[in-house]
Amino acid sequence: MILKEQTKKRLLILGKIVLTLGLLLYLILYVNLNQILDTFAKAKPGTVFLILILLIFNVFVQFKRWEFVSHKVLKNFNKKEILSSLFHGFAWGIITPLRAGEFFARKIPMKESSTFSIVMATFVDKFLLMPVVFFVGGVFALFFIAEYFSWSSFLLILITLLFLLAFAVMMLVIFYYYKAKKLLNKLIPAKGWLRNFYLKLENFSRLKKKDIALLLLLSSILYLIYTSQFALSIFAFTGGANFWTCYWISNLVIFSKNFIPPVTLGEVGVREAFTIYFAAQFGIPDSVAFDAAVLIFLINILLPSLAGIYFVLKEK
């Protein structure tokens, strides 16, 4: 038992070292200090300040979502553990492809919960943002296609119907997953690893329809905050573009980006490429789009990750 505790402590110390070195390496390879200073120098100070204020609300809503999932699924009511878990995820997510580290790092402060439960709870937390991104971003994408592409009316109507059908199916699966659970219960053998896996998933049946509805509402608020931050980051570098144009671009970028797995660390490159492409369609220069993408990365991804180091280093 003593050896086991010593091993855990050594692994925790090793994890802290790996994270610290990983973040330092990430900053050296992907973040150019001169570029950061240049980006902030060109941005409108008042707009940057507003984005930073919105970051507080962004993190707060993320915390409330994770707190709610922790209460309902993990039966964890310790606010300090939940907050620490969230920031552990921020810290580890940025230095791992597909942000895989976030799913496992949230487990570190939550010692009473199994790794499987934490990973699945994190999946639920993340997944319930997808319908919001799909629907709202999809609507903006449909308007964009209608405005900037010479497609026939028949094709546009067909795409719209398919889009609405896909969204309806997604919502049915989310709200009526328990019916699929009943079917699985009948099909899965009474013994074996499949049955064990199914039993582990039973915890997630604690999420009722009203719980899912509340999580979707929180996800909608989070989406509104993030898209507003992104729009403001574009607006911070433009002289003539109106805010609505910037907001349209932000929705198109976020919608498109979600179809490409975040294989790069911190999604570096993907976000910039989409921002430059869509901004160009509205007559916004590439340099403005690039600076805006860098700014939103620095504020929304890098800052929370750096704050996460504090929680990682204080973990015992």
> Confidence band (pLDDT; 50, 70, 90) for 3?
very low
Distance CA 289, CA 207 (A): 40
Mean pLDDT of the chain: 81
Q: What is the pLDDT of residues 116-134, one digit of tens each?
A: 888 888 888 888 899 999 9
- DSSP class per residue in 108-170: TT-TTS-HHHHHHHHHHHHHTTHHHHHHHHHHHHHHHHHHHS---HHHHHHHHHHHHHHHHHH
Q: What is the pLDDT of residues 11-26, one digit of tens each?
A: 655 555 565 556 555 5
Q: What is the pLDDT of residues 272-292, one digit of tens each?
A: 888 889 998 998 888 888 888
- For residue 183, pLDDT beyond 70: no
Residue 302 has which token pair? 């890098």
- What pLDDT is recorded for position 2? 46
Distance CA 113, CA 78 (A): 12
Q: Can you say how many angstroms the Cα of residue 198 is from the centroid of all Cα atoms in its chain?
A: 27
- DSSP class per residue in 154-223: HHHHHHHHHHHHHHHHHHHHHHTHHHHHHHHHHHS-SSSHHHHHHHHHGGGGG--HHHHHHHHHHHHHHH
- What pLDDT is recorded for position 262? 61
Q: What is the pLDDT of residues 242-264, one digit of tens each?
A: 899 999 999 999 999 887 766 55
Among 99-113, 157-171, 173-187, where is mean pLDDT lowest? 173-187
